[in-house]
Each structure stands twice: as structure tokens, then as C-alpha cells.
Amino acid sequence: MTVLAQPSRDIPREQTTARTVYPFPPRRRFVFTEPEAIYENYRTPLDETLDDIDALLTWPAEWDGYQVAPSLDAVTWARSWIKSLYDEVEDKSAGSQEWIEPLVVADAHRNVVFEWVEAHKRLVIYVSPNTVQYLKAWGPDIWSDMDEGNAETPDERWALWRWLTTD
Amino acid sequence: MALADDGLAIEGHGPVRNRELLYRNIKRVYWKKQKKRGGSYLSTQAFTDPQYRISVYRAALCGNDPSHAQEEDEDYVRGLYAEDVRAIDTVIKFDNNEPTEHYRVDVAPAPRCDDPSHAEIFTDPEITSRGVFKRLQARLVCISRWEKGYSPSDAEGE
């Protein structure tokens, strides 16, 4: 049964004035010395990677001899691709695997590039507005120790993550 | 007169000798320190170029001074030998497991008007497939080393 709040019987309604003092608790004092720590608690490990992707848009708009900003379409697609991978790692591993933050850069053709190195394995993902491709390297030989292909479907994405994170 | 490691004289427009050390400027964004897991690594994109011609500087022609390669004071520098670059002579493009193109990796002088030490790493014939270049980039990371005084660990100790 729902009980509605009733006015206090000790103070008749007609006697309540603007000067009435209610017993509020003491005013809370906010401490602003370390707000970052509180903020970080609410961020997922993915957030840092998403920030890194957005930061690529501050790179030079034209090739400067060493770097160039990716296209906006590549950034949008890269955010979607990495979110999907993050969700798959969370769902499929059921907490048994830890998310590994990639290095996030852009290549000279304005694609977003994710890169992980685990032990002797290197996984490079190239996200263009139209395709997502990978390079796997597990040794120095360009032919026998490296492989490349597409990384667009959930199965392809998950297979690459499994390759990277298992012995 | 500038000399290579083998003691032979080097000229600005002359061929790059095998024992010559090459400097590559590395932007800090291409290096990652793994905060939680420890360790660090260099991106393959530290060796990128839209024309697939990677810019380097010949140590013997810039006083063996890695800072000559730096675009900005905060940049790092990697060193690699010309003979190691040329040893990547097995870059092959495969289609359906059949070799279709062979690329010879080389380094040659590419002097600029104000800088005779500039050179370029390239392939012959010119790369037409990004897949081939991706493999070459990964290999260049493997064969290059940080130059003392211009590495991330040196920068951390600043």
C-alpha cells in the first residue's frame, strides 16, 4: 500500500512561514584537488583508445614528410570497428581476457592504424573508409613470417584477437 | 672526407655503400609504452611514405650526428645499415600462392639542395601493392635500432 507523506502534525499548515528552519544536514564540502581520479573510475579501457583515435584529427592535414591526419570517414569507421572488437572481447572471453590497448596512428594514405605487439607477435589493422585489412607478423621473414588479409567480419576480427592473445 | 664503416670514402652523390649507417627520424607518436603491461614497441608506420620512398640520412655525410635527422628536437632517431636494407631482397608479391612480382629493396642518394646526406629506401620496381609495403615496413622496424641519446629511454631520463 502506498502511504503519502503527511504534513507534520506539530506545525499546522497555516503557521508555516518562510522563516521556518528545517533540519538539513550540514552543507557538503566538495574537494576539487583530484577530480581526475573520480573521473577515471568511470572510464572504460576502450575510452582511452577512442580518445587516441580522435586525437589523430589534430595531425597535419597534409603529408609533412612523417605523418598526416586520417580521413574523417576512416576515423568514424575505426571507432566502430574497435568498439565491436572491444565488445567481442568482453562478451566472448567472459572476463577471462584483458583488453589490450593498441597503439593508434595513421598511415601515409590517411587510414587509421591499430597496432598491438604481444611477445613475438605483431598485429597491424588498417582501417580505410571502405576496407579493414590486417598484417600479422610473428618473425622477421617477409614471406614466411607474415600474413595479410581482411579483418571486416566478426569472425575475422575474433580470429585475429585469438591469434594475438594465445600462445 | 666522410668514411663508411669499411673505411671507404663517401661522396654526397655517390652510391650508398653497404656499411653506411642511415638515420631515420621517428615521431614520438609512433612509439607506445604499455602502461599496465610493461614493455614498449615501435609502430610500423614509423617507416611510412605515400610514395613508398622512405626518407633517411647518411650518417657519414652528416658528421655521424643523429640530430641531423631530427625534424624537431623532441623526435627520436633510429639507425639502420644499408646492407641490412638491401638484404631484404625477398619481397615478393603473391597471388594465390604464386609469386607474381619480385621487388629488390635498395637505398640510394636523394640529395636535397641544402642537404647532400639525404637518401631514400625504395624498391625496384616501384611498389604498386600496399600489401608489399606493409611487409617491408614491419621488416624495417626489425632491422633498425635506437640511436644512443635519441631513444625513448633517453628522453625519459631528460
> A15: how many CB neighbours lie within 10 A of its CB?
8
The total domain count for chain B is 1
> Which residue did the predictor score with more confidence, B155 or A135?
A135
Q: Which residues of chain B have pLDDT under 50?
A: none
Q: Identify whether B123 is part of a domain.
A: yes
Taking only residues 38 to 97 of chain A, the set having a beta carbon closer than 8 angstroms to any beta carbon of chain B reads 59, 63, 65-68
Mean pLDDT of chain A: 83
Do residue B44 and residue A146 have CB atoms under 8 angstroms apart? no
Residue A121 lies in a domain: yes
SS (H, E, C) chain A: CCCCCCCCCCCCHHHCCCCCCCCCCCCCCCCCCCHHHHHHHCCCHHHHHHHHHHHHHHCCCCCCCCCCCCCHHHHHHHHHHHHHHHHHHHHHHCCCCCCCCCEEEECCCCCEEEEEEECCEEEEEEECCCCEEEEEECCCCCCCCEEEEECCCHHHHHHHHHHHHCC
Q: What is the pLDDT of residues A51-96, one digit of tens each?
A: 999 999 999 999 998 999 999 999 999 999 999 999 999 888 766 6
pLDDT tens-digit map of B74-90: 999 999 999 999 998 76
Q: Is residue A143 part of a domain?
A: yes
Q: Is the pLDDT of residue A161 over 50?
A: yes
Query: Is residue A107 situated within a structural domain?
Result: yes
Segment A6-17 shows an average pLDDT of 53
How far away is chain B from the Cα of A51, in angstroms, using its nearest Cα?
Answer: 14
Domain-located, residue B102:
yes
- This prediction has a pTM of 0.81
pLDDT higher than threshold 50 for residue A22: no
Could you tell me if residue A93 is inside a domain? yes
Q: Between A132 and A19, where is the model more confident?
A: A132
Q: How many structural domains comprise chain A?
A: 1
B54 within a domain of the structure (yes/no): yes
Establish if B9 belongs to a structural domain.
Answer: no
The answer to the question of residue A153 being in a domain is yes
Give the residue numbers spanning the domain of A83. 49-165
Q: If you measure CA to CA, which chain B residue comes closest to A122? A: B138
User: What pLDDT does residue B86 have?
Assistant: 94
Mean of the pLDDT values across residues A154-160?
96
The ipTM is 0.87
Check pLDDT > 80 for residue A122. yes
Residue A1 lies in a domain: no
The whole-number average pLDDT for the span A24-41 is 52
A85 belongs to a structural domain: yes
Distance of residue B126 Cα from the nearest chain A Cα, in angstroms: 16
Winning range, highest mean pLDDT, from A13-27, A35-49, A83-97:
A83-97
| Max avg pLDDT among A31-45, A89-103, A120-134, B111-125 | A120-134
Residues of B in contact with A65 (CB under 8 A): 55, 71
Number of cross-chain residue pairs from A and B with Cβ atoms under 8 Å apart: 77
For residue A144, the model assigns a pLDDT of 85
Neighbours of A82 (CB within 10 A): 22
Q: Band of the pLDDT at A36, cuts 50, 70, 90? A: low
User: Buried b / exposed e across A144-159, counting CB within 10 Å, b at 16+?
Assistant: ebbebeebeeeeebbe
For residue B96, being part of any structural domain is answered with yes
Domain contains B158? no
